[in-house]
Amino acid sequence: MRSHTTLRHGRIPARLALLVAVLLGGTAPGRASGQWLLVPMDRAQQNHLRAYGLTYWALEQQEHAEWLLNFRGGSFLLPDQPSLRREAALRGVSVEPMNASAEARMRATIQGSNMEAVPLERAPKVAIYTPPNSTPWDDAVTMALEYAGIGYETIWDDQVLEGDLSDYEWIHLHHEDFTGQYSKFFLTYSGAPWLQEEVARNQEVARAGGFAHVPALKKHVAQTIRQYIEDGGFLFAMCSATETLELALAAQNVDIAAAYSDGTPPDADASAKMNWDMALAFTGAQVQIAPSVNSFSDIDGHQVNTPWRRELSVFSLFDFSAKFDPVPAMLTQNHESVLPDFYGLTTSFREDRLKSGAIVLAREDGLAKYVHGNLGEGTWTYFGGHDPEDPEHQIGDPQTDLALHPNSPGYRLILNNVLFPAAKKQKLKT
């Protein structure tokens, strides 16, 4: 059954892709010069995360909104309405009134520098791909949405098989293992009730769908997600969902997880038989088929649960041109450019495994941390790691309290992706 958190009225067509070059000076369309509320996103903002929720709420109310790329940390511009002032106060979000002359000066600054004002149209409909039962780990995106006050729905394999993905503009993948190996948790948690429940649930869905085993189910789900992107959807994934989605797509005719389905060993020549043409971001990876090694492949540069684990450092965001590279500029808006790294089952991505079309948005010591790309009419974005404010989060650890981290630059990167589909499509500049 689908779980509803907040329902949206109407929806943006999934083909309403991205963006670009917009509003070079003048006042906003359909609005005379008047009062605005600037939502600063530099260090003057007391609650960066809820500022995204305020902007999303304004879009739900069909108010005009603009994203001011590279202006004061990627600020937002909203109409100065009593309702918006009240909502900002309730959320603890800093706003600054802006009159017509201040607006004109701001737009002149934007026009003459590496900045851009991107109109935001309507609040995208959001879904989280997550299991229906509670698991002994939390999900950073779910926490970010709930703290920011952005509604979402939850979906799982049943809804994917029923063709429901097209109902959403933006989908986040939970920390799922799309190879069907249950993240190799059998090595440590074979007797844990939560793992036994997860296995039983997945096997039931596989049987109901007519699949021979769970790996076959997950491969089909991965293909369906790929088609969703190609048709115009926006996908965001973190942690193990990034790497294992790619492996499932490339292993359509290869057994890399058979030992967890029917007791037979995986294909010893799996790496040589992978078809990376179907993958989104990676190519040429070596699959880790040994069930005794808690790693999926050599895509991940940190290999957190292996003897060759790499220690954490910091990662740096790239600085993109707001006028000529507005999409990566949107995804990297922040008040910090260097962030502390954090582990996940997949923490980072080897750049020699990336396809040529992938855009690296952030890097740590020669490893990609945050990458983005296009497929057909849609886009995908991968962010390595589990929780930006808990660098070594363990299974069963308490959930991060975002009230203690309202200005988290790592969680800002997640919320950049949530607002990204709201950007108005414009003609490309020539």
CB 146 within 8 A of CB 153: no
Is the pLDDT assigned to residue 54 strictly greater than 60?
A: yes
Residue 425 is predicted with a pLDDT of 61
> For the chain, where do the domains classified as CATH 3.40.50.880 start and end?
126-422
Residues of the chain with CATH 3.30.70.790: 13-120
Q: Report the topology of domain 13-120.
A: Alpha-Beta Plaits (3.30.70)
Q: Report the pLDDT averaged over residues 117-145.
A: 88
Position 357 scores a pLDDT of 94
Model confidence band, residue 6 (pLDDT cutoffs 50, 70, 90): very low
pLDDT, average across residues 285-301 = 88
Task: State the maximum Cα–Cα separation within the chain, in Å, rounded to a whole number.
Answer: 72
What is residue 208's predicted lDDT score, i.e. its pLDDT?
A: 93
Q: At 10, list the tokens.
A: 């109407």
Q: What is the pTM of this model?
A: 0.89
Question: Which tens digits make up the pLDDT trace of 330-362?
Answer: 999 999 999 999 999 999 999 999 999 999 999
pLDDT at site 22:
34
Specify the range with the lowest mean pLDDT, choosing from 49-63, 200-214, 314-328, 365-379.
200-214
pLDDT tens digits, 196-210: 888 889 999 999 999
Mean pLDDT of the chain: 88
DSSP SS3 for 351: helix
User: Does residue 100 register a pLDDT over 70?
Assistant: yes
CA distance 115 to 323: 6
Q: Which helix (H) or strand (E) holds 193?
A: helix 193-208
Q: Which residues of 108-146 are buried (b: 16+ CB within 10 A; e: fewer)?
A: eebeeeebbbbbbbbbbbbbbbbbeeeeebbbbbbbbbe
CA 376/CA 388 separation, integer angstroms: 30
Residues above pLDDT 90, as percent of the chain: 72
pLDDT of residue 430: 31
Report pLDDT for 352: 97
pLDDT given at position 263: 65
Q: What average pLDDT does range 179-206 have in this prediction?
A: 83
The reported pLDDT for the residue numbered 428 is 37
- In three-state secondary structure terms, 37 is strand
Lowest mean pLDDT among 64-78, 97-111, 333-347, 386-400: 386-400
- How much is the pLDDT for 182? 84
pLDDT above 80 for 186: no
Mutual angle of helices 140-148 and 409-419, in 10-degree steps: 80
Do residues 330 and 67 touch, judged by C-beta distance below 8 A?
yes
Which among 228, 305, 303 is positioned nearest to 14, based on CA atoms? 228
Write down the pLDDT at residue 259: 57
Query: Does the pLDDT value for residue 67 go beyond 60?
Result: yes
Residues 332, 317: contact at Cβ < 8 Å? yes
Return the amino acid letter for 240: S
Assigned CATH topology for domain 126-422: Rossmann fold (3.40.50)
End-to-end CA separation in angstroms for the chain: 48
pLDDT of residue 24: 32
Radius of gyration of the chain (CA): 22
**What's the rounded mean pLDDT across residues 158-180?**
93
User: What are the backbone angles phi and psi of residue 115, rounded to the nearest 5°?
Assistant: -140, 170
Residue range 354-394, pLDDT digits in tens: 999 999 999 999 999 999 999 999 999 999 999 999 988 77
Position 265 scores a pLDDT of 74
